[in-house]
Structure 1
Amino acid sequence: MSGEVKRSYSSPLREQAAASTRLLVRDAGHRLFARDGFVATSIKKIAHEAGVSERTVYTHYRNKVELFQDALNVAIAGDELPVAMRDRPSFEELLRMSSARELIDEAVAANAVILERAGALIMAGIESSGADADMRRISDEGEHAMRANCLALATALIGTGEVRPEYGAERVADVLTTMLSPHVFQLMGWSSSRYQGWLADALRATLLMP
């Protein structure tokens, strides 16, 4: 009796096509979530925007929340690596800077890049968090991560010896969390360069000794 062993078949071309389709779907979702909000964006609309069937969307994402979370994660990070911003080498390098003024400049520049990519999605999540429990969870997780990152930046700033003596780490983190938020970025509606220049000046004037 011959025992025929079934072998799994993996085609690089098939995997590449699947990855390309997933990217189409994610990008379509990003555009619609940012433009219309989470609640008003349906899987049907995302499929139409991506030029695929609804079934194809569900092949890559179990539901709309999972698609939003993936789009948000990639927009914030700028890539698909499952590594939190706090654990990335670029953030660690930022925390090691010895000049408070340079640290503020680099933090503001990095934050502007993130908000250009993800600001509208973050706001879409916040705006729908009152009507959807999953979006509340995602928004809360984002706020907690932002606070933790700002507290790390605050500690690094104080370590330079240039922060006003009356400002402790929590107070510095309060200022950073507020000023670096997507709310401020959207309310200003300025170009990235104008936003960065104003924000860096404001943080230096507020936090650092003359």
Structure 2
Amino acid sequence: MAEVKGRNRRSVQTRRRIIDAAHKLFVAKGYAGTTFQDVADAADVSVPTVYFHYGTKSGLLKQVIDVASAGDDEPVALLDRPWFAELKRANDPAVLIRRWVEASATILDRVAPVLAVVHSARGDAEMEAQWTRNSEERRIAHGTFVQIMAESGTLRPDLTERQATDITVGLLSPDLFLVLTRECGWTTTQWETWTAAQLAHNLLPPAQAPAS
């Protein structure tokens, strides 16, 4: 039993080294420029080991995105994590928005640079599928946030949940995050402050939106 646990622990550590190496390489060299040999060398494993765990380069990139989104490789969905349960208990809608933006910033710091790699390779059919899948997952997550606001009666009455989700998806998109933090030189904290203010202005009734 101890031997099996030891093997499992080593396997987890190997996968994490591969994912860490692949994340850095994809961001630095792009999708086409990163090879399994590069990843194997950086992770100090053999190429067959990378193939064994992930099969294809697109499969490896998908796992890199999943781990970057969640912050770890535990098999727990993003919306089933403790921080989300805590977020749902926020009574003040402005606090709920701020916490959602803060959580999104933490995720975008990790995942937006990798999604930029997917975006740049969208002529590839597998990358197109990856981009579509990730877009759908982001919409589901932001839609869940909007649903919480709607069920608590804090959403602006002239907005449908779909419209509110559209606004949230747009303001918290990885594209806009990268434009402001990379091209414009904003800090993540500046992005959080601006995005929270914009969300509150657009989603809350005027009487509930905090003063700018």
Q: TM-score range by the shorter chain?
A: 0.7 to 0.9
Residue by residue over 1:30-55, the C-alpha shift from the partner in whole angstroms, topping out at 9 and shown as x without a partner, is: 11112222122111111222233322
- Within the candidate set 117, 124, 136, 1:124 is matched to 117
Report the RMSD for the aligned CA atoms in angstroms.
2.1
Paired position in structure 2 for 1:80: 73
Paired position in structure 1 for 2:210: none
Aligned-partner Cα distance in 1 for 2:46–2:141? 39
- Within the candidate set 130, 135, 155, 2:127 is matched to 135
The unaligned stretches of length 5 or more in structure 2 are: 207-212
- The yes-or-no answer on 1:185 pairing with 2:177 is yes
Structure 2 length as normaliser, TM-score?
Answer: 0.86
Note the C-alpha offset of 1:23: 1.6
Paired position in structure 1 for 2:107: 114
**Residues matched between the structures, number:** 202
Looking at CA atoms only, which structure, 1 or 2, has the larger radius of gyration? 1
- The yes-or-no answer on 1:160 pairing with 2:152 is yes
- The yes-or-no answer on 1:27 pairing with 2:20 is yes
Paired position in structure 2 for 1:4: none
Aligned-partner Cα distance in 2 for 1:129–1:83? 28
Identical aligned residues as a percent: 31
Note the C-alpha offset of 1:150: 1.5
Note the C-alpha offset of 1:168: 1.4
Task: Summarize the Cα distance change of 1:12–1:85 in structure 2 as closer, same or farther, 3 Å threshold.
Answer: closer
Query: Greater shift after overlay, 79-88 or 11-20?
Result: 11-20
Aligned-partner Cα distance in 2 for 1:200–1:9? 49
More helix by share: 2
Partner SS state of residue 32, structure 2: coil
Partner SS state of residue 31, structure 2: coil
Contact 1:109-1:196 at 8 Å conserved across structures: yes
Structure 1 length as normaliser, TM-score?
Answer: 0.86
Aligned-partner Cα distance in 2 for 1:35–1:46? 12
Contact 1:95-1:152 at 8 Å conserved across structures: no
Once the two structures are superposed, the pairs formed by residues 26-65 of structure 1 within 5 Å of their partners are 26-65=19-58
